[in-house]
């Protein structure tokens, strides 16, 4: 009786949840005003329709920007009681900025969305609807990649296929535009790792989920903060945080090469004994030696990636540092946190 009562109470809470939208920003001064206006309009519209509670809010996380992003967030939050800002003391990376938002958001459900509004704000109402129907996580999934450059499309899709091949559960064409319920966030915050790769961590939680598809537009202002080198580092974090298969593949390749070497050795021995050995060519010898040298260096590099990440994990450094808050809605509890 008690159980069904609390279950129905939970269901009734979902009729009009408090929603928080978390927006990570790194040097996004050019995009912020429009983004804030667009998200505020979206929240007001949902509130009018009775889909979300009046206390729903937006948190901009300034990830250590070097331009006027923080000044802009402060100005927006002074004018709107819905908007709050958190400034991180240094650039901690997109994933850590998202985590800071998830930790500080005080809501029943939190949606994370990029500051450049490439993700479709119109999909937010569908996400909220899926949440009200019981989904703990709602993934925003891109319908197609025709607004990406050729390079980005090939590398991104190749990466999703590679992750699947390595046995990692990722949602194809889903990045970090998603809704998470309080329950899912609480579960996620129990993961203490510093090498964050949220798009694989969230599916790992295993809660009931739903998918909302949308078409992603081009970035209208500013530039992508993901340089090819950053993308590569992010991809390596994803692979090394979730799959041991590269290490196993190296073991298998090593075993196969050693077995082949043993067979060739056997053949050479027999040829020498039967007197049918011809003078060995230096070119083929050089080729084998340099190939194996390269393969060994590559293998050491892969092992090094894992060791490096273990090194970072063992340090247990904080994942981000908060420098300042802004916004009238910031209550005493949150101010106390910064003094701690
Ligand atoms: N971002 C961040 N910290 C960083 C890099 C990016 O908070 O170190 C934010 C950025 O401001 C944006 C989001 O992460 O809101 C996604 O970045 P971007 O749009 O540059 O990536 P892309 O869409 O090109 O993959
Ligand atoms: Mg973008």
**Can you tell me which atom of ligand 1 is nearest the CA of 26?**
11
pLDDT at residue 5 in the model: 54
Full-prediction pTM beyond 0.85? yes
Q: Is 289 helix (H, G, I), strand (E, B) or coil?
A: helix
Tens of pLDDT, residue by residue over 91-101, are 999 999 999 99
CA distance 250 to 267: 26
Out of 24, 28, 102, give the residue to mutate to test ligand 1, the one with the largest number of ligand atoms within 8 Å of its CB.
24
Tens of pLDDT, residue by residue over 54-71, are 999 999 999 999 999 999
Tens of pLDDT, residue by residue over 166-177, are 999 999 999 999
Of the pLDDT bands very low, low, confident and very high (cuts 50, 70, 90), residue 276 is confident
Tens of pLDDT, residue by residue over 204-221, are 999 999 999 999 888 888
| Per-domain boundaries in the chain | 17-225+318-335, 245-315
Q: Assess contact for 109 and 73: CB atoms under 8 A.
A: no
Q: Assess contact for 246 and 239: CB atoms under 8 A.
A: yes
Q: How far is CA 315 from CA 75, 91, 195, in A?
A: 37, 19, 12
pLDDT at residue 131 in the model: 98
pLDDT tops 80 at residue 282: no
- CATH number for the domain whose boundaries are 17-225+318-335: 3.90.550.10
Of the pLDDT bands very low, low, confident and very high (cuts 50, 70, 90), residue 1 is very low
Who contacts 163 (Cβ-Cβ below 8 Å, separation ≥6)? Answer: 170, 200, 238, 239, 242, 243
Who contacts 297 (Cβ-Cβ below 8 Å, separation ≥6)? Answer: none
Out of 21, 26, 67, give the residue to mutate to test ligand 1, the one with the largest number of ligand atoms within 8 Å of its CB.
26
How far is ligand 1, taken at its centre, from the CA of residue 143, in Å? 20
Of the pLDDT bands very low, low, confident and very high (cuts 50, 70, 90), residue 290 is confident
pLDDT tops 50 at residue 9: yes
pLDDT tops 90 at residue 159: yes
């Amino acid at each position: 009786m008690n159980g069904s009562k609390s279950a129905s109470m939970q269901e009734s809470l979902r009729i009009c949840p408090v929603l928080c939208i978390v927006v990570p920003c790194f040097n996004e001064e050019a995009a912020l005003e429009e983004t804030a206006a667009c998200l505020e309009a979206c929240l007001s519209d949902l509130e009018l329709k009775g889909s979300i509670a009046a206390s729903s809010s937006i948190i901009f996380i300034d990830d250590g920007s070097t331009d006027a992003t923080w000044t802009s967030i402060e100005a927006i939050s002074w004018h709107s009681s819905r908007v709050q800002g958190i400034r991180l003391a240094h650039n901690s990376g997109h994933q850590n900025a998202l985590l800071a938002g998830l930790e500080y958001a005080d809501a029943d459900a939190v949606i994370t969305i990029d500051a450049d509004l490439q993700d479709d704000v119109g999909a937010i109402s569908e996400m909220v609807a899926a949440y009200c129907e019981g989904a703990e996580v709602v993934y925003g999934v891109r319908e197609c990649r025709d607004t990406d450059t050729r390079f980005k499309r090939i590398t991104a899709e190749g990466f999703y296929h590679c992750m699947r091949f390595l046995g990692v559960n990722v949602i194809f064409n889903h990045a970090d535009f998603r809704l998470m319920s309080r329950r899912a966030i609480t579960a996620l915050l129990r993961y203490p790792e510093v090498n964050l790769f949220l798009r694989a961590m969230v599916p790992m939680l295993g809660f009931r989920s739903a998918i909302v598809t949308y078409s992603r537009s081009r970035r209208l202002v500013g530039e992508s903060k993901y340089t090819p080198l950053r993308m590569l580092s992010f991809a390596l974090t994803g692979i090394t945080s979730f799959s041991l298969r590269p290490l196993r593949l190296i073991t298998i390749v090593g075993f196969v090469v050693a077995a082949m070497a043993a067979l060739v050795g056997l053949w050479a021995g027999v040829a020498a004994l039967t007197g049918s050995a011809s003078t060995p060519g230096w070119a083929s010898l050089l080729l084998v030696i340099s190939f194996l040298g390269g393969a060994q260096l590559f293998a050491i590099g892969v092992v090094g990636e894992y060791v490096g990440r273990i090194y970072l994990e063992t340090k247990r450094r904080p994942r981000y540092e908060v420098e300042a808050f802004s916004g009238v809605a910031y209550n005493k509890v949150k101010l106390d946190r910064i003094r701690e």
